[in-house]
């Protein structure tokens, strides 16, 4: 296998599995552990690339399924590929559409060959199997492509979870055989729900096939926090040390901090932007709902020593006013703050790992965040 992606492990924390590294691919690079804001349709809602860079963002997640629906991978390829199209020249990871098998499952028909999606807009049908998923991502030209997987919801019977693992493995193999684009990595995805033996089998077989990196899928699909943490704890050690580990769709700050302690390197989640649009700010002492009337006259920034643009320029009183009067700038500013918060959380973790103090960092963060 040619190595499309270089992963250099730079530091290993002494008291946990946490680690720092650097991913390089096609001239682009990324410090890990890293968090990706979500740009499903080739845009982080309301934010410009330069604003994301100011927040410290190094990579974004886009979605092959949604981009195939509109404007189409062919069109994007014709415009010079996804990076040029969306003006983002950092690393882009594309999810294949596997998650949509789950999230849109009431309108989809799943067979061993793939999934027939019904376009929610016009009812038209689109078929996506492992080959289609890879070809679409190759056309998009993302830096990291994901295999097409089946991601069942939780709770899920062992029989159903096992069948999803079988399909996911068969599809992973097909994706690997189809994939040929240079300077594009392909990651495998471990499924298996909450079943340790299924997760273990899935991980082992994927590692046997050999991917550029490995994702833990099927979390944040309805399970509680304990099951989620358990799935990460059981799966992470099954993945090779020398390859990046990506926890898909996770999550809230405590989940991320815990997963870093288990040796996870990459994260993505809609939380910072979606919560921001809905007037919720993340702070080190928990969430803050800016529409609450206690903030009406509050001259303080969202968070005292935050270096983001929203905190540097504006009071809680102003942000409260923006949301109360439905001004677009409110969602923009809270998205900027929340993305900065996530990036600061991750850069703090990297620093703590480098200083062999991740355990303390995690303890302090969780104490402040969860006890208010």
Q: Which residues have a catalytic role annotated?
A: 95, 268
Beta bridge mates, 82: none
Distance, CA of 85 to CA of 74 (rounded, Å): 12
* Among positions 79, 180, 292, 368, the unique one binding a second copy when judged by CB under 8 A: 79
How far apart (Å, rounded) are the C-alpha atoms in residues 47 and 270? Answer: 14
Q: Which is nearer to a second copy, 74 or 367 (CB)?
A: 74
- 216 touches a second copy (CB under 8 A): no
CA-to-CA separations, 348 to 344, 355, 360, 369, in angstroms, rounded: 6, 11, 12, 15
Among 53, 294, 313, 354, binds a second copy (CB under 8 A): 313
Judged by CB under 8 A, which of 53, 107, 294, 328 binds a second copy? 328
Decide: is 275 part of the binding site for a second copy (CB under 8 A).
no
Q: Which of 28, 45, 274, 289 binds a second copy (CB under 8 A)?
A: 45
Query: Rg of the chain's alpha carbons, rounded to an integer?
Result: 20
Q: Is 75 in the site for a second copy (CB under 8 A)?
A: yes
Sign of the CA dihedral running 291, 296, 300, 301 = positive
Which one of 5, 20, 42, 257 is in contact with a second copy (CB under 8 A)? 42
Q: Judged by CB under 8 A, does residue 296 bind a second copy?
A: yes
Given 23, 34, 36, 44, the residue binding a second copy (CB under 8 A): 44
274 binds a second copy (CB under 8 A): no
* 59 counts as binding a second copy under rule CB under 8 A: no
Asked if residues 354 and 334 have their Cβ atoms less than 8 Å apart, the reply is no
For residue 8, the surrounding DSSP H or E stretch is strand 6-12
Binding string, residues 141-180; x marks residues near a second copy by CB under 8 A? ----------------------------------------
User: How many residues sit close enough to a second copy to count as binding (CB under 8 A)?
Assistant: 39
The owner of tokens 């903030």 is: 295
What minimum distance in Å lies between the beta carbon of 124 and a second copy? 15
Question: CA 322 to CA 324: how far, in whole Å?
Answer: 6
Question: Minimum distance from CB of 309 to a second copy (Å)?
Answer: 7
Nearest-approach distance from CB 318 to a second copy, in angstroms? 5
Q: Does 87 bind a second copy (CB under 8 A)?
A: yes
Say how far apart CA 160 and CA 158 lie, in whole Å.
Answer: 5
Interhelix angle 225-235/196-209, nearest 10 degrees: 40
Q: Which of 9, 104, 207, 309 forms a contact with a second copy (CB under 8 A)? A: 309
- Give the CA angle between residues 95, 254, 54 to the nearest 5°: 65
Contacts of 323 (CB under 8 A, 6+ apart): 279, 290, 291, 330
Question: Toward a second copy, which CB reaches closer, 82 or 259?
Answer: 82
83/72 Cα distance (integer angstroms):
15
Q: Is the N-terminal amide bond of 33 cis, ω within 30° of 0?
A: yes
CB nearer to a second copy: give 36 or 231: 36
> Using CB under 8 A, which of 317, 359, 364, 366 touches a second copy?
317
> Does 321 interact with a second copy (rule: CB under 8 A)?
yes
DSSP labels, 227-246: HHHHHHHHHGGGS-TTS-EE
> Measured from the CB of residue 63, what is the shortest distance to a second copy in angstroms?
12
Nearer Cβ to a second copy (207/329): 329
Residues forming the site for a second copy (CB under 8 A): 41-50, 70-71, 75, 78-80, 85-87, 296-297, 299, 309, 313-315, 317-318, 320-322, 324-325, 327-329, 331-333
């Amino acid at each position: 296998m040619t190595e499309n992606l270089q992963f250099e492990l730079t530091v290993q924390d002494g008291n946990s599995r946490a680690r720092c590294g650097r991913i390089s691919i096609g001239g682009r690079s990324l410090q890990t552990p890293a968090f990706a804001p979500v740009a499903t349709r080739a845009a982080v809602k309301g934010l410009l690339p330069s604003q994301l860079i100011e927040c410290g963002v190094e990579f974004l997640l886009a979605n092959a399924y949604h981009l195939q629906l509109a404007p189409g991978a062919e069109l994007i390829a014709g415009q010079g590929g996804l990076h040029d199209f969306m003006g983002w020249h950092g690393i882009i990871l594309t999810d294949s559409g596997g998650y949509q098998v789950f999230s849109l499952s009431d309108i989809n028909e799943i067979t061993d060959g793939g999934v027939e999606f019904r376009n929610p807009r016009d009812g038209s049908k689109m078929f996506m199997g492992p080959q289609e998923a890879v070809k679409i991502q190759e056309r998009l030209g993302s830096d990291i492509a994901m295999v097409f997987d089946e991601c069942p919801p939780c709770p899920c019977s062992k029989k159903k979870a096992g069948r999803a693992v079988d399909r996911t493995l068969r599809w992973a193999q097909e994706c690997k055989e189809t994939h040929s684009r240079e300077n594009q990595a392909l990651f495998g995805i471990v499924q298996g729900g909450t079943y340790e033996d299924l997760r273990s089998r899935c991980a082992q077989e994927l590692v046997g096939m050999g991917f550029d990196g490995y994702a833990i899928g099927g979390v944040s699909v309805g399970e509680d926090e304990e099951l989620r943490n358990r799935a990460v704890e059981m799966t992470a050690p099954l993945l090779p040390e020398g390859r990046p580990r990506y926890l898909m769709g996770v999550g809230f700050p405590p989940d991320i901090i815990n997963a870093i302690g288990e040796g996870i390197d990459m994260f993505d989640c809609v939380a910072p932007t979606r919560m921001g649009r809905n007037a919720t700010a993340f702070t080190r002492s928990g969430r803050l709902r800016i529409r609450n009337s206690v903030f009406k006259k509050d001259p303080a920034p969202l968070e005292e020593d935050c270096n983001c643009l929203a905190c540097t320029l504006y009071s809680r009183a102003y942000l409260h006013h923006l949301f109360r009067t439905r001004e677009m700038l409110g969602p923009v500013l809270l998205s900027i703050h929340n993305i900065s918060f996530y990036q600061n959380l991750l850069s703090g973790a990297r620093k703590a790992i480098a200083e062999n103090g991740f355990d303390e960092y995690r303890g302090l963060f969780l104490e402040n965040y969860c006890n208010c």
